[in-house]
Amino acid sequence: MLLDNHGRPVNYLRLAVTDRCNLRCFYCMPEEGIQYLPKKALLTYEEMERTVRVMAGLGVNKVRITGGEPFVRNGLLGFLRRLSEIPGIDALHLTTNGVLTAPHVAELKALGVRSVNLSLDTLDRDRFRHITRRDELPRVLDTLHALLGAGIEVKINMVVMEGKNTQDIGPMAELTRHHPVSVRFIEEMPFNGEGARLEGFTWHYRRILDELKAHYPGLYKLTDEPNATAYGYGVPGHAGTFGVIAAFSRSFCGTCNRIRLTAQGVLKTCLYDDGVLDLRQLLRGGSTDEALADAFRGAFRHRAKDGFEAEGRRSSHLPASESMSTIGG
């Protein structure tokens, strides 16, 4: 079991398979997009598979595929199949914007993908187009229905943003009335790829919670999993549940079990650090599996205790100089 210097077990890898995306969510990247990495700068599927095998040997048993948009990278399903066969990996998860996902849902089910996080910030087509700068809401809703139809666990990620979609908190919450989904309301974070500080952050998780309580006076607290980032809530009679994620307030760092690997193979021991290990260099420089495992152990011996310390240790840039599309969320 991989333990960090604060005694936290680390068993969950978030793997960004690409930095490319077919949407342009304004909180993630500028309208013109980000400077994508050249193809050869991305880890190959073989390199990622080897990394996961080594990490599985250290006790990692849960992998989330993210990006960019995972489905814009060719060969994704074959890669998922190979990951699903790695001994020790007992849960594969996926985060997607849902634009290209619906046709693959049956295969995801067959591969045993445990749950899919679908990013959806509004049910209003105009606001969707405004936020993502693309008119793709119908295809995202097709994916939602396909996932529910296939019986795959669905979590919906809604970033709550002043002046953009706060009127959608109620309608999004209503999805839980008849559908067995978890709708997660997420504080906006500063990773917009523009270098601009996050202005006007007013939708703190407590305010989101107050808004939910105003809609549902019967809201009750659920028991959260030990490493959960979301505070879970239920409403009597609803098929689904809510989560509120203090992603910017960073209230969950004390139990963080996550490793992040960016699309170019940079290891992050915290979302807010600026990378602690160049894995691609090790992989391409001929390192043995044992050397890779040592490098992972070494990285987790110097882990910041929380996201504030990690941010303070960044070498120069603001987090906002990074796009979440490169990090994976």
Q: Report how far residue 49's alpha carbon sits from residue 87's, in angstroms, rounded to the nearest whole number.
A: 12
How far is 198 from 300, CA to CA, in rounded Å?
29
271 binds ligand SAM (CB under 6 A): no
Give which of ligand SF4, ligand SAM, none residue 29 binds (C-beta under 5 to 8 Å, depending on kind): ligand SF4
How is residue 90 written in tokens? 């007992």
Interface ranges with ligand SF4 (CB under 6 A) = 21, 23-25, 28-29, 67-69, 97, 119, 324-325
- Give the one entry of ligand SF4, ligand SAM, none that residue 247 binds, where binding means its C-beta sits below a cut-off of 5 to 8 angstroms depending on kind: ligand SAM
Q: Which of 11, 18, 66, 143 is the binder for ligand SAM (CB under 6 A)?
A: 66
Q: What is the largest CA-CA distance in the chain?
A: 59
Instruction: Note whether 169 and 122 are within 8 A (CB).
Output: no
Residues 174-213 binding ligand SAM (CB under 6 A) are 186, 188-189, 191-192
Q: What are the structure tokens assigned to 120, written together?
A: 């959806």
User: Is residue 256 within the footprint of ligand SAM (CB under 6 A)?
Assistant: no
Q: Indicate the residue type of 120.
A: L
The DSSP output letter for 171 is: H
Binding segment toward ligand SAM, per CB under 6 A, in 7-15, 93-101, 170-178, 277-285: 93-101
- Does 101 help bind ligand SAM (rule: CB under 6 A)? no
Question: What one-character-per-residue DSSP string does 24-76 give?
Answer: --TTTS-TT---PPPGGGSPPHHHHHHHHHHHHHTT--EEEEESS-GGGSTTH
**Residue 241 makes contact with ligand SAM by CB under 6 A:** no
Q: Does 67 bind ligand SAM (CB under 6 A)?
A: yes
Q: Which residues of the chain form contacts with ligand SAM (CB under 6 A)?
A: 21, 27-28, 66-69, 95-97, 119, 157, 159, 186, 188-189, 191-192, 247, 324-325, 328-329
